[in-house]
Amino acid sequence: MFTTTRSSRGMRHRRPRHSAVPFLAPLLIWAGAAGVLALWWSDTTAVVGPAGWLTGAGRITGLLAGYACAVLLALMARVPLLDHTIGTDRLARWHAFGGRCAISLALAHTLLVIWGYSLTSHTNVVSQTSTLVLHYPDLLKGTAGFLLFLATGVLSARAARRRMSYETWHYLHFATYLAVFLTFGHQLSNGADFVGNRSAQIAWYTLFLGVAALVAWYRFAVPLRRGLRHRLRVTAVHPEAPGVVSVHLTGEHLDELGGEPGQFLRWRFMSRGLWWTANPYSLSAPAHPSHLRITVKSAGGHSAALGRLTPGTRVWAEGPYGGFTANRRSAFKILLLAGGVGITPLRALFETLPGQVTLVYRARRTEDLALRAEIDAIAACRRATVHYVLDEPAAGSAHFTPQGLAALVPDLAAHDVYLCGPPGMTQSAIQALRDAGVPARRIHHESFAF
């Protein structure tokens, strides 16, 4: 373990911009769900007999499934306000939870409606299903959309996802746009709450057209416009540590990009074998008006190929994304906790975060400490503390235990903690920090796996 000492004199301490969005967004989502239930309530005079209860429950689950689909798409539309304040990884977790809810609701809706209708018409469920699918308006399309939605959900389940590449899983997800489109018609033409209810129809159209506009704008138009404006190119690739390289890029009008330290972009390198995939990598240095830098550890096909990029390679970058920025900070004292290549966003924050900053950087061996020279230079310049912690037994490393961390960082509980590293290290560090008295709201972590 090596230490450079500190005291962050001269750094200005600004109060962070607290955002109410992470609290208001869930409230708004639940309020929308309550509004959907109110629509059913206002249209229902009485529920009679088992068939009435079944179709009533089918209507409610159907309305909620439709609403959940709109929310799911909005969460993944990459709206900057949501992305920067809530954080991409948290939005992805909400999206995954919402996806499970939407599929369960759609499945329940289908089964309840078939059962309820078959009781009302005194037919068996098989002939009732074929009547519904073949003779009700828009239900053939709706059934195709439902099956597509179900298939995407099954393939996104953790066990199935582990067996396919990230790209296959990602592109399969685009099928949900088609599924939502296919199921939309039957909601309005068959839904008892919409037939003859002009205001409900307008509200439903507004919801779905609004979400479609957000997706079209933020996922397609904005990246295209930025790609054309910034004209990013690779200028150099430098080795930093075994299996780790920095890719330097230049472009036009980069001051307009607005990338904050701690954020990431999705990088599409226009070279053979790489152009069809856009992978996320964090800025490993604060964005400069004429150049950007990422630092990448070889983890698979895409990341390993970046070491072979040649200067001049054209790059399309989407972003910046993520809420792992100075905006999360609430205390004067800040601890940055990095594991391996998790140093990248923290290196950029280390240079720029105001306050009294301590960096703890854990790696396997001394030679794995990427960016070490510049980290030492920043530490000397801002008089900040750096602790390098090695896994090598000979180094006698401190583990991420409450005692180990407290020994490295006095007054630990008074710190805001920014944490980025492999999942195992992140979990043990969060547990150790909580045990050492750091409140959960002060622990900010970035996950490198969505």
Ligand X SMILES: Cc1cc2nc3c(=O)[nH]c(=O)nc-3n(C[C@H](O)[C@H](O)[C@H](O)COP(=O)(O)OP(=O)(O)OC[C@H]3O[C@@H](n4cnc5c(N)ncnc54)[C@H](O)[C@@H]3O)c2cc1C
Which residues here bind ligand X, judged by CB under 6 A?
165-166, 264, 279-282, 294-297, 299-304, 322, 341, 344, 448-450
In whole angstroms, give the CA distance from residue 240 to residue 231: 26
The DSSP string of 293-354 is EEEEE--SHHHHHGGG--TT-EEEEEEEE-S-SGGG--SSEEEEEEEGGGHHHHHHHHHH--
Maximum Cα interatomic distance, the chain, rounded to a whole number of Å: 82
Tokens of 95: 């999206």
**CB closer to ligand X, 350 vs 448:** 448
Report which residue type is found at 254.
L
Tokens of 244: 């780790």
Smallest gap from residue 169 Cβ to ligand X (A): 9
Smallest gap from residue 320 Cβ to ligand X (A): 10
**CB closer to ligand X, 297 vs 415:** 297
- Report CA-CA distances (Å) from 387 to 5, 365, 417, 423: 9, 14, 15, 21
**CB closer to ligand X, 47 vs 160:** 160
- Report CA-CA distances (Å) from 155 to 66, 143, 164, 326, 365: 20, 18, 9, 37, 38
In whole angstroms, give the CA distance from residue 443 to residue 420: 11
**CB closer to ligand X, 72 vs 420:** 420
Smallest gap from residue 152 Cβ to ligand X (A): 17
Smallest gap from residue 171 Cβ to ligand X (A): 11
**CB closer to ligand X, 91 vs 360:** 91
Provide the CB-side half-sphere exposure for 367 (13 A, CA).
Answer: 4
Smallest gap from residue 420 Cβ to ligand X (A): 8
Smallest gap from residue 264 Cβ to ligand X (A): 4
Smallest gap from residue 326 Cβ to ligand X (A): 17
In whole angstroms, give the CA distance from residue 196 to residue 192: 8
Closest residue by beta carbon to ligand X: 300
Report which residue type is found at 305.
A
Residue 206: which residues within 8 A CB-CB, separation 6 or more?
A: none
**CB closer to ligand X, 299 vs 407:** 299
**CB closer to ligand X, 37 vs 449:** 449
